Amino acid sequence: MTLNLKQIAAEKAVDEFVKDGMTVGLGTGSTAYYAIKRVGELIGKGWKLRCVATSVQTEEIAKEFKIDVIDLDEADHIDVTIDGADEADPDMQLIKGLGGALLREKIVASVSREEVIVVDDSKLVEKLGTKSPLPVEVLIFGHKKTKIALEKQRCTAVLRTKGDVPFVTDGGNYIYDCNFGSIDNPFFLESRINVIPGVVENGLFLNMATAVVVASADGTVRML
């Protein structure tokens, strides 16, 4: 039987960090799906959990598992958010956003007391950018000019598409997937990207993760 590493790690994260009575941020993507499913199981057992979704997709999945979702502004705080990542380095710095929800994910992460990231060991890298492009969410207005400015930071920026048309985020924006190669100084790069007019948000999640739960091919789970 093939082990489902995403499911193993996600369930471990929920069981380890979610307690009855908490307000929980629900991440977006294939790994977060299993965390959402596990949260739904706990609610089915009578747990009182308030949940905030990081995307429209997550809201729909939450409904599937009988989870009531509240708006972020209705929550006094978020105790813990459980989400996936596209890359994680040894210092728990992350690249996120291949699922297309980086803006809402970053807003929710920024107000969470704990940001727990769930990955399999294929997502671990020594330096960010090694395997994944860096998603950058941009305004549709003038997006080609924004692309030119992004590429001045020494990357190749590719407009994300869905079928034959540009992918549009929940916020009504486009995403450029920027291939930098190995990123030596992610904090400096983040500051350079953020000052570009037209950039809404970038997929560098720096100093946000409080724990990274890693599932390995042999079925073991460890934490960074």
Q: Which of 59, 105, 137, 201 is the catalytic position?
A: 105
Is residue 105 part of the annotated active site? The answer reads yes
| CB-based contacts of 25, cutoff 8 Å, min separation 6 | 51, 52, 54, 78, 80, 81, 82, 83, 108, 109, 112
User: DSSP states of 55-124 as a string?
Assistant: SHHHHHHHHHTT--B--GGG-S-EEEEEEE-SEE-TT--EE--TTS-HHHHHHHHHTEEEEEEEEEGGGB
Write out the catalytic residue numbers: 105
